[in-house]
A and B are shown apart, each in its own frame.
Chain A
Amino acid sequence: MAQQGETMGRIIELINVSKEYLQAGDNTRQALADINLGIGAGELVGIAGMNGSGKTTLARLLNALLLPSSGKVLINGMDTTEPGYQQEIRRQVGMVFQNPDNQIINPIVDEEVAFGAENLNLSPAEVRRRVNWALEAVGLSDLCYHAPHLLSGGQKQRLAVAAALAMRPECLVLDEPTSMLDQPGRRKLLKCLLQLNREHHLTIIMISHCMEELAVADRLIVLHEGAVHMDGPPWVVFSSPQFTALGLKPPPIASITGSLVRQGHQIDKKIVTLEQMVEYLCP
């Protein structure tokens, strides 16, 4: 499959990246093997793969939480192994983890969002502006004086996104952000991410096991045993036998499209989300 992200300016570039973890004794375990990947500014990229395929390792290499064992990770041309660049890299690449409880540290929603921005040495007025904008973007403005621990799981996850946004990152990396959420919570978070991507051109990299979510991405990367196994538009990936051979399941709407195409119906084979299918069937 052709590499995407060629035409746009590249925000992230991985060149021959491998990552090994030390294990008990003198053993090492290879988590990523010789990855070459370019991600363009403004792309919405989904990452799928089985447990242990290297998804989380890849995410953590992108803001220098982990450093490659060999090869290079470049963020806007900055090498993550250069200590002098790491602070700037972490500002440009925001991270949201699986469990928001692990990253929320302040007793009030408003303060939580301001924390990262305050540490950037900005004026109070600028911090205020950013906090208001970030809360607005994730739909939490009404809850700004609430205590984070009293929020629902979905609200907490959107709070974690807002805290990352207030640092005005160019790229947001989310590692299974919805695995603790129910469907309405997932839908709201996804809507908010889509809006940030479309309206603010935020580059988004989202790791998930939930194919319904990954279906909205511009590009879907499938990792397998530490290597990029597939890379293309979601509808191409979902309809490939390579995908199901890994034990992965396409989202329900993509399966329906697939079975309609096999039955010889004239239907747009690019349909993978509920909205697209409803739009197609009753315009």
Chain B
Amino acid sequence: MPIIEIKDLTYVYQSGTPYEKKALEGLSFSIEAGEFVGIIGANGSGKSTLMQHFNGLLLPTAGSVLVKGKNTAVNHYYSELWKEVGLVFQFPEQQIFASTVFAEVAYGLKNLGLEQPDIERRVEEVLHRVGLNPEEITHLSPLRLSGGERRLLALASIMAMCPDVLVLDEPTAGLDPAASDRVWQALQDMQRDYKTTVIMVSHQADELILLANKLAFLEEGRLLAYGGKVEVLQQMARRDRDDWLLPDHLQLIYCLEDCGCQVNTDIISLEEAALEISRILKEPTRCKV
């Protein structure tokens, strides 16, 4: 059984008023336990609206969202749903409220009913996991941390609860490369160690495409493509070039195809793209216009 099943999901903001706005229309897809699904779409395509459906923050206007077979709108207890699905909003550091780093991470764990020694162990473990040093910072006020460290702390607080599904909305926006690498690494480790299902939106398309094992492509509230990475990327490349959401190295590959080169589009990573360009340079006949 898939861990998440979306059936004909439609969501309308301010339904029945003059400000009515359809954000999602007729989405159907399912996610298996342990998968890493990357969600790609332009601003306003419905990504964040979709993300908030996974833990019942938003309920469908029509259609249904099933988490572990239970409908979020009908027979799901939120206390249970929120343990199963951890949601990390955009700029999660704005939600930090405790007076010390320890208390911030421990808050969710206390609510799960864990004993103090368990809590201490998990706090230490999760801070290591995101690359923060527990000895140095557990007693500090979160306000003493840098912006990047605060983001990692907010992520750690959710990760500590070991949700079955981790939903993240732009977790690396505004972080420098070192901090965003730590976020990507922590997510990979979580997935490996706990078989966590990860669903993620990111404008860092190159990283997302590399780590995800499935992609979903949204446009104006509709799911235009879902499934294997290469197929979804090829669908995305069929759009108008001004609206391309592909990372530069893939844009390059598809631009070459457009101008008549015989190019292999079965490519995901930067290294593969570099190899393909190298092959083209060795056989200039492949790019004769």
Interface check B255, CB cutoff 8 A: yes
In the complex, the answer to whether B205 meets A183 with C-beta atoms within 8 Å is: yes
**Alpha-carbon separation in the docked complex, A95 to B245 (Å):** 28
Interface check A60, CB cutoff 8 A: no
Interface check A274, CB cutoff 8 A: yes
Q: Which residues in B have their C-beta under 8 angstroms from that of A278?
A: 252, 255-256, 259
In the complex, the answer to whether A281 meets B277 with C-beta atoms within 8 Å is: yes
Interface check A184, CB cutoff 8 A: yes
Q: Which residues in B have their C-beta under 8 angstroms from that of A270?
A: none
In the complex, the answer to whether B206 meets A252 with C-beta atoms within 8 Å is: yes
Min Cβ gap B245→A in Å is 5
Q: What 1/0 mask marks residues of chain B from 258 to 289 whose CB sits below 8 Å from any chain A CB? A: 01110000000011011001101100000101
Number of inter-chain CB pairs below 8 Å: 104
In the complex, the answer to whether A252 meets B270 with C-beta atoms within 8 Å is: yes
Min Cβ gap B44→A in Å is 6
Interface check B69, CB cutoff 8 A: no
Q: Which of B76-84, B174-182, B183-191 contacts A (4 or more CB under 8 A)?
A: B174-182
Judged by DSSP, the binding face of A is loop
Interface check A104, CB cutoff 8 A: no
Q: How many residues of A contact B (CB 8 A)?
A: 37
Question: Which residues does B use to contact A, with CB under 8 Å?
Answer: 41-44, 146-148, 173-179, 181, 203, 205-206, 242-249, 251-252, 255-256, 259-261, 270-271, 273-274, 277-278, 280-281, 287, 289
**17 other A-B residue contacts (CB within 8 Å) besides A253-B249, A282-B289:** A50-B176, A180-B173, A181-B43, A187-B242, A209-B174, A209-B175, A247-B176, A247-B181, A252-B249, A253-B248, A259-B274, A260-B277, A274-B252, A278-B252, A281-B281, A282-B256, A282-B259
Q: Across chains A and B, which 7 residue pairs bring their CB atoms closest together, nearest first? A: A252-B249, A282-B259, A252-B248, A50-B176, A51-B176, A247-B178, A259-B274
Question: Which residues does A use to contact B, with CB under 8 Å?
Answer: 49-52, 98, 152-154, 176, 179-185, 187, 209, 212, 247-249, 251-253, 255-256, 259-260, 263, 265, 267, 274, 277-278, 281-282
In the complex, 6 of the A-B residue pairs with CB atoms within 8 angstroms, ordered by the A residue number, are: A252-B252, A253-B252, A256-B252, A256-B273, A259-B271, A278-B252
